[in-house]
Amino acid sequence: MKVIQLHKEMMSDEEYFLFVEKSELRHELISGTLFEMSGLSIFHNNLVVRLSFLLYPFLKENKWQLIVESFKIKTPEGNYFYPDIAICFPDLEKYFSEKPILLIEVLSDATRKYDLTDKFIQYQKIDTLQYYLCVEPEQQVVVFYCKQEDGEWMAETFTKDEQVISLPKLNISLSLKDIYNP
């Protein structure tokens, strides 16, 4: 990710929205600093499309909203991120949601460490978030984080076709075979 500092002081939400409306590139806002988002590979794109198609039928009859790549998630600290996929409560703002239940990031060499650490630390502060999936685009690996009843997060790694990721609060199950081998 490329850091772009436009202001010496923190950028306000209003300034951020004005900036992103005019920009052809996506930028996350973290602690008042803009971060330009890197380009996407075909592997990344294919996984986002596939996961969206897998998730959509489960959500069609429910109250959840499926968001893909170009919609922001706002954390309690006022940071804005673009997850690759989000499932949110339906009461969305014009440009963002503060109430995701599932966030999915397709990893890349440029974002892997950040998505698995710093971004996840920020995401954990969102009360409504129950699930976080980090999906490798070029090998069959999904790191799955699930919030427990006591508020702690459990991590599990999935690598085999027959393994199934269960999201009971959404009434959804995803097999690795379906994610990686359409």
For residue 1, the model assigns a pLDDT of 44
Whole-number pLDDT of residue 6: 47
Of the candidates 87, 103, 89, 101, the residue with the CA atom closest to the CA atom of residue 143: 103
Ranges of residues in the chain whose predicted pLDDT is under 70: 1-10, 20-21, 23-29, 34-40
pLDDT for the residue numbered 23: 65
Question: Looking at residue 24, what is its pLDDT?
Answer: 63
Strand 131-135 to 142-147 pairing? antiparallel
In whole angstroms, what is the distance from residue 96 CA to residue 80 CA? 8
**Per-residue pLDDT at 104:** 97
pTM for the full model? 0.81
pLDDT given for residue 36 in this prediction: 66
pLDDT of residue 114: 86
| Six-digit token string for 107 | 């990893």
CATH code matching the domain that covers 40-180, chosen among 3.90.1570.10, 1.10.443.10, 2.120.10.30, 3.40.50.1100:
3.90.1570.10
Query: 142, 144, 146: which is closest to 161 by C-alpha?
Result: 142
Asked if residues 82 and 69 have their Cβ atoms less than 8 Å apart, the reply is yes
Domain boundaries, the chain: 1-37, 40-180
Could you give the count of Cα atoms lying within 13 Å of 26 in the half-sphere of its Cβ?
A: 17
Strand locations in the chain (E) = 2-4, 27-30, 33-36, 65-68, 72-74, 80-81, 85-88, 96-97, 100-106, 131-135, 142-147, 153-158, 164-167, 172-175
**What pLDDT does residue 93 have?**
84
In contact, 137 and 43? CB cutoff 8 Å: yes
In the prediction, which pLDDT does 129 show?
98
